Structure 1
Amino acid sequence: MNDLMTVSGLSVNYGRVEAVREVSLDVRAGEIATVIGANGAGKTTLLASIMGLLPSRGTVTFEGRDLATVAAEDRVAMGISLVPEQRDLFGTMSVEENLELGAFRRGRNEIAERLEGVFTLFPRLKERRRQEAGTLSGGERQMLAMGRALMARPRLLMLDEPSLGLAPLIVRDILRTVADLRAGGVSILLVEQNARAALQIADRAYVMELGAITMQGPAAELAEDPRIAEIYLGIGRKPA
């Protein structure tokens, strides 16, 4: 598979604190790549810098194009979408209005077509299309955030902690949808604290600790690694 996006030597500072240190990774066309790590490892900062929302050092290329001078909104137009950890929905606007914001540059006919595509993926959103986003459940808000990002028809979808705060059954449904998107041709960069769930659906994985990538490889192999199993999967620890 060809690399869709390549990140090389990416570093981000908050004042004197280096939150991301010389991170290099790639996402290939037609795959799910995941970055796992504990809270505070720098995963969210990494995604924000890739999206162009934070100043950084290093190089990000998408389909061979250097994104150094490309604004965040233009990265969306190129085919990169980010679903942030906090979902960032407009609570007093309806589900449909939130979705339409994801394709605001498009004409009405195209927006209507894309809405139907999202409603096919998330039938529950269609049932609640007139409902205010602020009244949705946690799982429904995550569906809406993903649906809004998909309205831009991304080739690369970046997901920041999509399972955060959700019940296990809802997490299963969300991650099944992620796998379906990959099958439909959308490449995924999945950032997760839930290492077990992420490694089950990903093709390749990166482990991030204290702002740096410390391990990488096929997701199935990392899931079997004793260190990953003990630290992130809770397997192999001796009773206290």
Structure 2
Amino acid sequence: MSTLLRVNDVHIAYGKVEAVRGVSLDVAANEIVTIIGANGAGKTTLLNAIMGILPLKGGVSFAGNDLARLEIEDRVAAGLSLVPEHRELFAAMSVEDNLRLGAFRIGNALAAQSLERVFTLFPRLKERRRQLAGTLSGGEQQMLAMGRALMGAPKLLMLDEPSLGLAPIIVADIFRTVSELRASGVSVLLVEQNAQAALQIADRAYVMELGEFVLQGAAKDVASNARVAESYLGVG
């Protein structure tokens, strides 16, 4: 299985405060990898640095290419995409217009194919394609944020807390869709406080505490770890 994303000994600081220390991870093609941990552990900081939003020290490569000199737009063009925690939709624009913004780097024919693919994944978005994004429910907005990121046909989708603030039935829909993405050839790096849901669909997992990975391995093994069960799964 080929490695798609490789993060090697990464350090990220806010001024003199080091938020992430010596972190290394990899994501293979057709794999779901999750990073679980408490709020403030450094998970979002790491995703933002991989995307190029924050500076970092260390190595990050994607599909064998060093990302150090690539701007955010070039990382997107290479097949890397991030769905941020707060979704960052354009509330006064329609669902379809928000989606089309995600396809700004591909031609019209490919954009049309991507749009149909997103509508197949999220039929509710097709029903609401003319509706303003700001009038959607929280779950629909999360679907729209994911759909917009998928419009550019990414190889790796990074999801930051996709279940945040959503009802359990909607969370189940979102995570089912994440599993479908892997089946369609899109790898996923999932940051999630809902450890139980994340570990159920992930292939591998990293546990992050205070800016460092304290445990990693197959998701089923991490889920059965006594410390993880007690701290993150409410068992014990």
* Helix, strand or coil at the partner of 1:145: helix
Report deviation, 1:105: 2.2
Report deviation, 1:75: 0.3
Q: Distance in 2 between matches of 1:8 and 1:109?
A: 38
Match of 2:201 in 1: 201
State TM-score, norm by structure 2: 0.99
Report deviation, 1:230: 0.2
Match of 1:75 in 2: 75
Q: Distance in 1 between matches of 2:32 and 2:106?
A: 28
1:44-103 Cα offsets, whole Å, 9 max, x none, are 000000001111100000111111101111000000000000000000000000000000
- Percent identity over the alignment is 69
Q: Distance in 2 between matches of 1:59 and 1:112?
A: 36
1:4-38 Cα offsets, whole Å, 9 max, x none, are 11000111110111111111000011110000000
Match of 2:192 in 1: 192
Taking only aligned residues, the RMSD between alpha carbons, in angstroms, comes to 0.7
Match of 1:147 in 2: 147
Match of 2:133 in 1: 133
> What are structure 1's unaligned runs of at least 5 residues?
none
Deviates most, 100-109 or 63-72: 100-109
* Helix, strand or coil at the partner of 1:9: strand
Q: Distance in 2 between matches of 1:202 and 1:111?
A: 29
Match of 1:213 in 2: 213
Q: Distance in 2 between matches of 1:107 and 1:186?
A: 20
Report deviation, 1:107: 2.7
Q: Distance in 2 between matches of 1:225 and 1:9?
A: 25
Q: Distance in 1 between matches of 2:117 and 2:67?
A: 29
What pairs with 1:1-150 in structure 2 (closer than 5 Å)?
Answer: 1-150=1-150
The number of residue pairs the alignment matches comes to 236
State TM-score, norm by structure 1: 0.97
Contact 2:77 2:105 in 1 (8 A): no
1:172-223 Cα offsets, whole Å, 9 max, x none, are 0000000000011100000000000000000000000001111000000010
Q: Distance in 1 between matches of 2:116 and 2:104?
A: 16
* Helix, strand or coil at the partner of 2:6: strand
Report deviation, 1:2: 1.5
Q: Distance in 2 between matches of 1:50 and 1:114?
A: 24
Q: Distance in 2 between matches of 1:108 and 1:80?
A: 20
1:141-166 Cα offsets, whole Å, 9 max, x none, are 00000000000100000000000000
Amino acid of the structure 2 residue aligned with 1:40: G
* Helix, strand or coil at the partner of 2:35: strand
Q: Distance in 2 between matches of 1:81 and 1:105?
A: 13
Q: Distance in 1 between matches of 2:8 and 2:195?
A: 24
* Helix, strand or coil at the partner of 2:165: coil
Contact 2:200 2:219 in 1 (8 A): yes
Q: Does 1:178 align with 2:184?
A: no
Q: Distance in 2 between matches of 1:49 and 1:5?
A: 13
Q: Distance in 2 between matches of 1:221 and 1:106?
A: 40
* Helix, strand or coil at the partner of 1:106: coil
Report deviation, 1:112: 1.8
> What are structure 2's unaligned runs of at least 5 residues?
none
Q: Distance in 1 between matches of 2:177 and 2:147?
A: 11
Q: Distance in 1 between matches of 2:110 and 2:8?
A: 36
Match of 1:227 in 2: 227
* Helix, strand or coil at the partner of 2:13: strand
